[in-house]
Structure 1
Amino acid sequence: MKKQFVLLLLATVWLAAFRSPDALEVGAKMPKPDVKMKDVTGKEVSLNDVKKANGLLVMFSCNTCPYVQRNQDRTREIAQYALKHNIGVILVNSNEAERAGGDSFDAMKAYAKKQNYQWYYAVDKNNELADAFAADRTPECYLFNKEATLVYKGAIDDNPGNAAGVKTKYLHNAMDAMLAGRAVEVTSSASVGCGIKRKM
């Protein structure tokens, strides 16, 4: 029991050391908008490069998390919906501790091809974006409006583990409200998924 407590304490300290002291709150401006990241095409892109006329969807993701894999149909659906409505889309892989394994750049390229990604999927070197966003889960979503202001953060919907049990599509609803010029009703939700694998 004592050993478990010590391990939990060490994990908490480790996470705190690598996260921004303040979580990114709704109403905040998009952080690190000009940091270049390597996309699976080999192109270097920034959030400003990807942003479209109606805003930007940033999703922290990876290849290896079961929750990401389980949510692929929903990821494709919401990404396509965003692009259709002139909202840019970028998936960001911040799993720096797994670059020699399942989240290597080559693995990302293969995964994006297998999943037929039609949007950016980029490497977050040294967790720069994840730290700026205080992101710690995959999948975890951040929706910015045309002024690059955060209007929603959290999960795609209310049932990440079971698509058949979804009752509220948080991200979809947030996009609709944003596009219509209405206030987003639910501005944040708890992200359920795997922890981002930062290097120690």
Structure 2
Amino acid sequence: MKRLVILCITIMGFITVKAQDKGYQLGDLAADFKLKNVNEKMVSLTDYKDAKGYIVVFTCNTCPVSRAYEDRVEGLHKMFAAKGYPVVAINTNDPIVSPGDSFDQMQERAKSKKFTFAYLEDPNHVYTKKYGANKTPHVFVLQKTAKGNEVAYIGAIDNDQEMENPVRDNYVQNAVNQLLKGEKPTVGFTKAIGCSIKWKKAAGK
């Protein structure tokens, strides 16, 4: 029995630490980036001087799930930007494989939806791969610390893609509220649900 308990604790510990197969894990320090925003200015996390952290959303123009969540992403920015946790959205998709995710189309989408958050392009998937995003949308909540931007939550925005669940688990909202209280998020990892990322095709294929 004692061995079984130890084995269970070990397995649970592994699951907690190894939240993803690739990319950042909870507690890792996330790299900053310098990517082009839809207003054609380059944006880095360091540009947000008063930030306490960031809600980094890997998303795109074309995924129906991402589009279903756009208003909720805007809502998160309006809810938390003034409190120190702005939304920074990054388009993951290759614009050649997915023409609807071209920079021009990003600009049109941002204008039509009146995004107030930064919407950046990552056409070569550099930060999409570094962070370990594998769906759109896929969220990484970062907490600014003395060591750097620590990953505090990874996963879905909530558990209600269709907005029909009367008991919605607002994962990102709950995580940020707990961080603002000086607490560690009770739920640090959930499975991101959405569309597969449209990766750049290898040369010659």
TM-score, reference length from structure 1 = 0.83
SS in 2 for 1:164: coil
- Fraction of identical pairs, as percent: 31
Paired position in structure 2 for 1:54: 52
Segments of 5+ residues of structure 2 without an aligned counterpart are 1-19
Take 1:110 and 1:59, find their aligned partners in 2: how far apart are those partners?
19
Q: Which amino acid aligns with 1:132?
A: K
Residue 56 of structure 1 contacts residue 143 of structure 1 at CA under 8 Å; is this kept in 2? yes
Paired position in structure 2 for 1:15: none
Paired position in structure 2 for 1:173: 174
Which of 124, 142, 148 lines up with 2:122 in the alignment?
124
SS in 2 for 1:149: strand
Cα displacement string for residues 148-187 of structure 1 (whole angstroms, at most 9, x for unaligned residues): 1010010110122x11315210000000000000121000
For the pair shown, the structure with the greater C-alpha radius of gyration is: 2
Q: Following superposition of structure 1 onto structure 2, how do residues 29-178 of structure 1 map, counting pairs within 5 Å?
A: 29-31=29-31, 33=32, 35-50=33-48, 52-98=50-96, 101-147=99-145, 148-160=149-161, 162-165=162-165, 166-178=167-179
Segments of 5+ residues of structure 1 without an aligned counterpart are 1-19
Q: Which amino acid aligns with 1:25?
A: Q
Post-superposition offset of 1:53: 2.5
TM-score, reference length from structure 2 = 0.81
Size of the aligned set, in residue pairs, is: 178
CA RMSD of aligned residues (A): 1.8
Take 1:115 and 1:51, find their aligned partners in 2: how far apart are those partners?
26
Post-superposition offset of 1:50: 4.0
**Structure 1 moving runs of 4+ over 2 Å:** 20-23, 47-53, 97-100
Take 2:21 and 2:177, find their aligned partners in 1: how far apart are those partners?
31
Q: Which amino acid aligns with 1:149?
A: E
Post-superposition offset of 1:21: 6.9
